[in-house]
Structure 1
Amino acid sequence: MSRRIPLSPSRIPVDPYILALLGTVALAALLPASGTAAEVAGGASTGAVALLFFLYGARLSTAEALEGLRHWRLHLTVLACTFLVFPVLGLASRGLVPYVLTPQQQSGFLFLCLVPSTIQSSIAFTSIARGNVPAAICAGSFSSIAGIFLTPLLAAALLGNSGGGFSADALLRIGVQLLLPFVAGQLLRRRIGGFLARHKKVLGLVDRGSILLVVYTAFSEGMVAGIWHQVTPARLGALLAAEAVLLALMLAVSWYGAKRLGFGREDRIAIQFAGSKKSLASGLPMASVLFGAQASLAVLPLMLFHQMQLMVCAVIARRRARDPQGPPERGAAPVRGTAAVG
C-alpha cells in the first residue's frame, strides 16, 4: 500500500518498478554477467532470495492471520481461484503449443498460474472500488503464505522436467532457500519485528533491490546461453493475447462465481481483485530457484501479466467506484499515484 494507483481511468497505470525491471533486463542484455562475475552474481542472487523470504516470515503477524480466519469462506474462494482455477487454465494452455505458444513460453505461462496473489495492489484496487478492504488484506496475506508452500509443490507436480528438472536436489534447494528462511523469520519475529516496522521504507528498497538482482542474474544466464533468440515479435504478441484471455476469464470467474456463492458486493470486489491477480514480487525469486538457467524465459509471462493486470484492474476499480449500489464515494480511501508491485 506504499504506492498507489490513479483514480482516473484515462491514465494508464505504468508501475515504476516495471520500468526498473525492464531497465535491469536491458542491462543484462547489454552487459550480461559471465565467468567469475556470473558466479558472484549467482551467489548474491541466492542470498537475496533467502533474505526476501526471511523478511516475509519476520513481517507476518500470526495473530492478525488467525483473526482473519473468521471470514474463511471468502479466503477459501480466493485460494481456489489462485491455486485451483488458475492452474487448470494454465494446464489447458498446453493446447496452444506449438501454434500459439512455444514449449518454453507455455512453461512460463503455467508457472504464472501457480504463483500466489498480490497484496498491495489488491488492497489498493479494493479500496478504490469501495470493497471489503480488511478481507482483501487477509486474502492476499493468506495467498502469499500458502504460495510459499503450494507454488513449489504445484510446479514440481505440473511442470515436471520443463521446470528445469525437479530432482530431490531441487526440492532440497527449495527448502533451504525458501522455506527455511521463512520459518526462521517467523521464529525471530518477536525480537526483530519492531526494528522491521521502524525501517519499512529502507527494507522496501532492500526487497526491490534483491528482486532486481535476481532478475539481472536470471536474464544474464539467458543471454549467455542464447535462449533469447527463441523470442520473436510474433511469439511475443501471441503470448500477450493468451494472457489477455487468461485475465479476462479470471476476472469473470472471480466476479460471477462469487455472486453464485452468495457473496455481497463488497466481498465480491475483494474476491475479484485478490483472486484474479498474480504476485511479481513472490514469483520472480521463486522462479530463480525453480528454473535455474531457464528462469529468464519463465518469468517473462509473469512480468507481462503483472503490468496487464494493473492496467485492466485500474479501469475496473474506477467503474466499480461509480456503482450506485455501493456506499457513498467519500467512504473510500483516497488513493493516488501508481500501484505497488505485489
Structure 2
Amino acid sequence: MIRRLFSHIDLMVRLLVLAIVLASVLPATGRGYVIAQGVSNAAIFLLFLLNGLRLPRTEVLRGISHWQFLLPLTLWCFGAMAVAGKGFASLADSTLPSTVALGLLYLGALPSTVQSATAYSSLAGGNVANSVIAAALLNILGVFVTVPIISLLGGGEGISLGADGLLKVMLILVLPFIIGQLFQARAKGWIVEHREIVTWMDRLSIAVAVYVAFSGAVSQGLWGKVSVGDWAVLLALVTGFLLFGFGGSWLCGRMLGLSRPDRIAFLFAGAHKSVAMGAPLAAVLFPPAIAGMVLLPLLAYHLLQLVVSAPLANLLSHDPNVG
C-alpha cells in the first residue's frame, strides 16, 4: 500500500524530498561542497539551455501578440503576487527566521511553472496554447525581473548580486537560453526523439540545485534554527498565500472578461510558482548559508499547489458553472 501511495506522488516532488533528505543526512561540505556547487552550476546551465532549445521563437512571438491575456497575467504574477509575498514576509518577520521570511518575498516574485500549469489547464479544459506560451514567457521574464523586484521590495536584504552576481546570472541563466534559441533548429529532432531523457535531465538539474542549497543551509544549522512551531507558522502562511494566488487569479480572469478557457489558463499560470526557476536562481543569487532557508516557502508552496490543482482541475472540467 505504501509503495502504491508513493507511486501516485508527483516524480518531481519525490526527487525534491530525496534531495532534502540526502542534504540533511549527507550534506556536501568543504571541498565536496565546492565540487557540488560546480556540478550544480553546470546542471543549471544545462537546464536553461534545454529551455532555450525547446521553446520555438514563433511561439514566443505569437504569445507576445496576445497582449490582452499576457499583460494582465504578467502584472498579476510579478506585481500582485510579489506585493503579497512582501506582505506575508512582513507577517513572518516577528515569528520566523529572517531568511525564511525573505523566502516568502522570493516566492512571490518568481514566475509561474510551465509543465504543471499547462498540464492542469489542459485537464480543466483551459486554453492550453495560451498556458504554454504565457508560462514560458513568464519564465524568460523571471530571469530579468525577479531580482530587481526582490531588491525593490526587500531593500536588497540577503541578496549578494552586485556586478559579479549579475555576471553569474548572465552566464548561467541567460547565456544558455540564448544559445538554445540559436541552435534549436538543429537540435529539435534530437529533443523530440529523446524527450524522456530531456525530461529527466530537467528534473535532476533542479534536484541537484536543491541538494546544494540545502547542504549549505544544513551546514549552518538549518534544522536547529527552524522549530516545529516555525514549521506550523510557515505552513499557515504558505496556505494563506496559496489561497490568495488561486482565488485572486480566478477573480482577475473574471474581471478581465476572459473566456472560460482563457480564465482557466490564467488561473493556473497566475497561481503556480516555479521551483524549476526558483531553485536554480536561489543557488545563483543567495550565499550558500541561506539559500536553503530561502527555498523553504517555495518548496512548501510547490507541494501544496500540486495537492490543490488536481481536484480543482477535475472540478472545473466537470462543472461548467463553477465561478
Listed as ranges, the gaps of 5+ residues in structure 1 are 1-11, 327-342
Residue 161 and residue 81 in structure 1: after superposition, are their counterparts in 2 closer, same or farther (change >3 A)? Answer: closer
After TM superposition, give the deviation of residue 239 of structure 1 in Å.
Answer: 0.8
Deviation readout 1:205-231 (Å, 9 max, x if unpaired): 111112222122111111222233211
Distance in 1 of aligned mates of 2:169 and 2:150: 11
Contact 1:112 1:302 in 2 (8 A): yes
Match of residue 233, structure 1, among 195, 219, 228: 228
Q: Which amino acid aligns with 1:244?
A: T
Q: Give the stretch that moved more between structures: 316-325 or 279-288.
A: 316-325
Distance in 1 of aligned mates of 2:252 and 2:34: 48
Q: Which amino acid aligns with 2:148?
A: L
Contact 1:14 1:311 in 2 (8 A): no
Match of residue 42, structure 2, among 40, 44, 47: 47
Contact 1:122 1:140 in 2 (8 A): yes
**After superposition, where does 1:45-124 map in structure 2 within 5 Å?**
45-124=40-119
Contact 1:38 1:217 in 2 (8 A): yes
After TM superposition, give the deviation of residue 13 of structure 1 in Å.
Answer: 6.6
Q: Which amino acid aligns with 1:179?
A: V
RMSD after superposition: 1.9
Percent identical: 37
Q: Tell me whether 1:163 sits opposite 2:158 in the alignment.
A: yes
Distance in 2 of aligned mates of 1:71 and 1:97: 38
Contact 2:90 2:101 in 1 (8 A): no
After TM superposition, give the deviation of residue 296 of structure 1 in Å.
Answer: 0.6
After TM superposition, give the deviation of residue 157 of structure 1 in Å.
Answer: 3.2
Contact 2:125 2:317 in 1 (8 A): yes
Tell which has more relative contact order, 1 or 2 (C-alpha 8 A, sep 6+). 1
After TM superposition, give the deviation of residue 36 of structure 1 in Å.
Answer: 1.9
Distance in 2 of aligned mates of 1:270 and 1:197: 25
Deviation readout 1:58-89 (Å, 9 max, x if unpaired): 21100122123343211112212211111110
Q: Which amino acid aligns with 2:164?
A: D
Return the TM-score normalized by structure 2: 0.92
Contact 2:151 2:157 in 1 (8 A): no
Task: Tell me the SS of whatever aligns to 2:66.
Answer: helix
Q: Tell me whether 1:303 sits opposite 2:303 in the alignment.
A: no
Task: Tell me the SS of whatever aligns to 1:118.
Answer: coil
Task: Tell me the SS of whatever aligns to 1:113.
Answer: helix
Q: Tell me whether 1:28 sits opposite 2:26 in the alignment.
A: no
Q: Tell me whether 1:316 sits opposite 2:291 in the alignment.
A: no
Match of residue 287, structure 1, among 282, 286, 295: 282
Instruction: State the partner residue of 1:126.
Output: 121
Distance in 2 of aligned mates of 1:302 and 1:267: 26
Q: Give the stretch that moved more between structures: 307-316 or 97-106.
A: 97-106
Contact 1:104 1:298 in 2 (8 A): yes
Q: Which amino acid aligns with 1:18?
A: V
Match of residue 273, structure 2, among 250, 259, 278: 278
Residue 72 and residue 13 in structure 1: after superposition, are their counterparts in 2 closer, same or farther (change >3 A)? Answer: farther
Residue 149 and residue 13 in structure 1: after superposition, are their counterparts in 2 closer, same or farther (change >3 A)? Answer: farther
Q: Which amino acid aligns with 2:268?
A: F
Equivalent residues, number: 315
Listed as ranges, the gaps of 5+ residues in structure 2 are 1-6
